[in-house]
Amino acid sequence: MPACNPATLGPEPASVANRPRLEHDVVPSMTAPQDRSALPVRHRQSGFTLIEIVIVVVVVGLLLGGVLAGQQLIRGARVHKLMADVSAYRAAIHSFTERYQTYPGDYEGASLHIKCSPACLNGNGNKRVERNAVPVGGSQVHEELLVWSHLSGAGFISGQFTAAPGGTIPTLNNSPVNISQRYWQFIFDAVFGSTPGTPARHNLKTGNQIPVSFLQEIDTKVDDGLPNAGFFRFSAFAAGDASPVAGAAAAPNCTNGGGQNAVWNATNGTTNCGAASLS
């Protein structure tokens, strides 16, 4: 069949040329290409997914848990150290008394029989460790400051303590310190408990600035849990510092009263408290 030549077909019939345009007819664009840079740009919204939020919450929880656990470990270690020191010093004092038949600090033969450097100072030998002891043969007035040099010189406690002649106050040279860097004391007096008329006894004082919750925990473990009864009691002793107070439930009181049935204010947050362990 001969090829069809478009030129020989003639003009487009009027019926075709004038018919309406249909939607599927392709009409070549006669306009310039559209500038897409002028069109609005849809930005993707940013944010955390649910999984990401859950991960963050879990991590924060683990961190907080670790901090709290660490605080509990530190607290437990401090309570254990205080309780261990009470036990160790009581044992040392008992052993010294068994060996020399008198208390450390009161020993009148310390300069002859205990190896101190410099030489140990003597007490008056009246079987009481006193703050205002009557001097006998050059003995010291403040026998409570001789206690630790006698114990360390005799080998019952570690470290080296030296009492200076005529000393009147505890120092790092003559006395150990507690977990809050306050001085321990062993003495014959009645500065313990809150009950009026309590007779004097030899007692080992922890020093002050100890949280009341620590003392309540120790008292419950080793004694009766009561600050004015048993052998572990509240003490207002403080060396050159603010003395602990007692007698009401509100802070800064360490105990809620002065009777035998008083309790430690273990939940009021008081931090300046102290105790005495009676001999």
> For position 224, what pLDDT does the model report?
97
Cα separation, 100 vs 130, in Å, equals 18
Percentage of the chain with pLDDT > 70?
A: 83
pLDDT in tens, 160-203: 999 999 999 999 999 999 999 999 999 999 999 987 788 999 99
Question: In angstroms, what CA-CA distances link 117 with 140, 146, 175, 216?
Answer: 17, 13, 15, 39
Residue 25's pLDDT is 52
- What does DSSP assign to residue 39? S
pLDDT top residue among 41 and 208? 208
Interval 11-31 mean pLDDT: 53
Is the pLDDT at 148 greater than 90? The verdict is yes
pLDDT tens for 124-137 read 999 999 999 999 99
Q: Are 213 and 268 in contact (CB under 8 A)?
A: no
Helix ranges (H only) for the chain are: 14-17, 50-100, 110-113, 147-153, 212-222
Q: Is the pLDDT of residue 40 over 70?
A: no
Torsion of CA 211, 180, 233, 247, to 10 degrees: -50
**What pLDDT is attached to residue 28?**
52
| Predicted local confidence at residue 64, as pLDDT | 76
- Which of left, alpha, beta for 183 (phi over 0: left; psi -120 to 50: alpha)? beta
The answer to whether residue 30 scores a pLDDT higher than 90 is no
